[in-house]
Amino acid sequence: MNKPTCLAASLVLTAFASAGTSVIWNGLPFIAKQQFGFNETNNLTLYFLIGLVYVFGAMSAGKWTKGVEKHCSPRKLLALLLLLQTAVCLMPLFFLGEWTLWLAGVVLGLCSSWMWPIIESFLVAGRHGQEMRRAIGWWNIVWMASVAGTMFAMAPLMEHHASMVIVALGAMFALAALVLYAFPATPTLHAVESSSKEVPPNYKHLLKGARVLLPLSYIINGTLAPLLPFVMSNLAVDPFWQTPAVATWMIARVGVTAFLWHFGGWHGKWSVLWVAIFAMAIGFVCIFSASSLWILFAGLIIFGGGMGIAYYAGLYYAMAVGRAEFDAAGTHEALIGAGYTVGPTAGLLAISFSNSGSTVTSTPLITIVSGLIIIAGILLWTIFRKAR
């Protein structure tokens, strides 16, 4: 097999599958609060559990996929994962109770940790240089736009039918499975010689730097996502507008990603990674110290820009240096899962230090996360110095 997977098919599948991922990582805390009355501790615990299974799944994705390859091709495995998620998403139609929320979070988190490394490998395998950059650019725009769009689409259901959002995900995963008819059974071979010609020596150091920022970005997001429903409520944002308001940072991420895609001058540059870490730090502080909607939205936009840079750089260098293998994509996803595990832990720790038993007093939370950002900055500086 010499031809790479059809880019259009990869993008359509990504658009449908990303809708589900969006709800699990960004919409679930709003559903939990609105439908089941979750407090901050409940939401953070739920996210810690999802992050934990995601790390386990992503770290084992490469070995697991290769282990079953004799009996089940990557395409069939993708279909099974998508259909399993469809079945779990339909549970709220037949059963009531918050256990359906926990089940959806854990199963979809685990399935997506196996699913995305395979999708990323199908996307990039057989593509090199400019062609690979084009594919990654389109892919990032599509999944990020899908994530943002889903947050808007949730709004009409949030006030009285929040759990039906999970049911709607079942349809998205089923549609994604149908697109697999346009996929080959396995990703095409990724020629080592062609790949090596397109990878400058400093990319390995930049990959290490990006792999510091990637989990940091999801540590911050893993702290933000479970708590944003309460930040919005404290600023008197109506439930209908809460998920669209959160989409602000996701829209900013799409804009920054589009810029990085069309402006290739950032490839091989350390300055872009430094911009990312400062943007995420400033955005986080603005969000959790916001006394008005203007400060909140400014923080969301700045944070979203930093997230876009961290993700794009992390994926680009991982797939360039890792030659589009399942393990390279799996490591990329495992770092995301690690962030989603540490983030809620930081939130729970902050609550334990707070006299109010919540993050209404934001000082402990800002202090803890700022400490993690400083540690990441030191690691990034150390890698940068060794690369010179």
Helices and strands counted in the chain (H then E): 14, 0
Instruction: Give the closest residue to 85 by CA, choosing from 21, 27, 146.
Output: 21
Write down the mean pLDDT value for the chain.
86
Listing DSSP states for 315-333 in one string gives HHHHHHHTTT-HHHHHHHH
Residue 138 lies in a domain: yes
pTM: 0.85
Residue 226 lies in a domain: yes
Predicted confidence (pLDDT) at residue 327 exceeds the cutoff of 60: no
pLDDT digits (tens, 9 = 90+) for 55-84: 888 777 667 767 777 778 889 999 999 999
Q: Are 195 and 259 in contact (CB under 8 A)?
A: no
Residue 17 lies in a domain: yes
Residue 76 lies in a domain: yes
pLDDT digits (tens, 9 = 90+) for 220-268: 999 998 999 988 988 888 888 899 999 999 999 999 999 988 887 888 8
Q: Are 119 and 7 in contact (CB under 8 A)?
A: no
Structural domain for 72, as ranges = 7-188+197-387
**φ, ψ dihedrals at 189, nearest 5°:** -65, 140
What's the total number of domains in the chain? Answer: 1
Residue 2 lies in a domain: no
Gap between the Cα atoms of 172 and 198, Å rounded: 36
Q: Are 232 and 245 in contact (CB under 8 A)?
A: yes
Please enumerate in sequence order all residues whose Cβ is within 8 A of that of 231, keeping only pairs 6 or more positions apart, or say none: 287, 288, 290, 296
Predicted confidence (pLDDT) at residue 147 exceeds the cutoff of 50: yes
Residue 156 lies in a domain: yes
CATH code for the domain in which residue 326 is found? 1.20.1250.20
Residue 1 lies in a domain: no
pLDDT digits (tens, 9 = 90+) for 183-227: 998 887 655 444 455 577 788 899 999 989 988 999 999 999 899
